[in-house]
Amino acid sequence: MDTTLYNLHLRAGQICGKDKTCAGKKPFDEEDAAQRAANAHNRWEGRRHDVEPYPCAFCEQWHIGRIMPIAELEAFITEKSELPPNTKSFDAILAPIRQGFAESGMSEEEALDIFTNELKVIRANRRYDKENKA
């Protein structure tokens, strides 16, 4: 999944909330596993609609849900994400971070690699903590 679609799914999930996007849905550790489940569902003749994998903003895993094209996700986010007065937007919060990366001389790909690797470490640590609480 490309970065734009990934981020749109996360934002839409945050807006919809955990009950609609995570709770009661089967989690998949990897996008490929969720894609295989989506493919199997989409071959089923009794389905109501086709589904696709999406990243979960709450459990940091993958679920499957109705296919939402980029334009639909963008429209949904725009419609639902009006900020209260005096609230900073996500872009405003990230502006100093983006500026720091711009000044570092790192390419967008290098920065994305760093964030991707750090996210993998965070997820692995959370799974380890969950498994070792029992």
* Residue 65 CA to its chain's centroid (Å): 13
Shared domain check, 55 and 41: yes
Shared domain check, 76 and 133: no
Total number of domains in the chain: 2
11 Cβ contact partners less than 8 Å away, ≥ 6 residues apart: 57, 73, 77, 81, 90
For 58, counting Cβ atoms within 10 Å of its Cβ (0-12 exposed, 13-18 middle, 19+ buried), the class is middle
Report the alpha-carbon distance of residue 62 to residue 35 in Å, rounded.
9
Where residue 120 falls (left for φ over 0; alpha for ψ -120 to 50; beta otherwise) is alpha
Shared domain check, 8 and 68: yes
Shared domain check, 23 and 44: yes
CB 5 within 8 A of CB 53: no
Shared domain check, 111 and 77: no
- Predicted pLDDT at 94: 75
- Predicted pLDDT at 54: 95
- Helix (H) or strand (E) segment spanning residue 62: strand 62-66
Give the residue among 28, 99, 90, 103 at the shortest CA–CA distance from 65.
Answer: 28
One digit per residue, pLDDT tens: the chain, 134 residues? 888 889 899 988 888 888 889 989 999 999 999 999 999 999 999 889 999 999 998 998 999 999 999 999 988 888 876 656 555 666 677 778 778 877 888 887 888 888 888 888 888 888 888 888 75
Shared domain check, 73 and 9: yes
Shared domain check, 94 and 34: no
Shared domain check, 67 and 102: no
Report the alpha-carbon distance of residue 14 to residue 80 in Å, rounded.
11
Shared domain check, 126 and 88: yes
| Phi, psi values for residue 88, rounded to 5° | -75, 140
Domain extent at residue 114: 83-134
Residues, the chain = 134
Shared domain check, 99 and 70: no
- Predicted pLDDT at 97: 77
Shared domain check, 56 and 19: yes
Amino acid type, 25: K
Shared domain check, 96 and 77: no
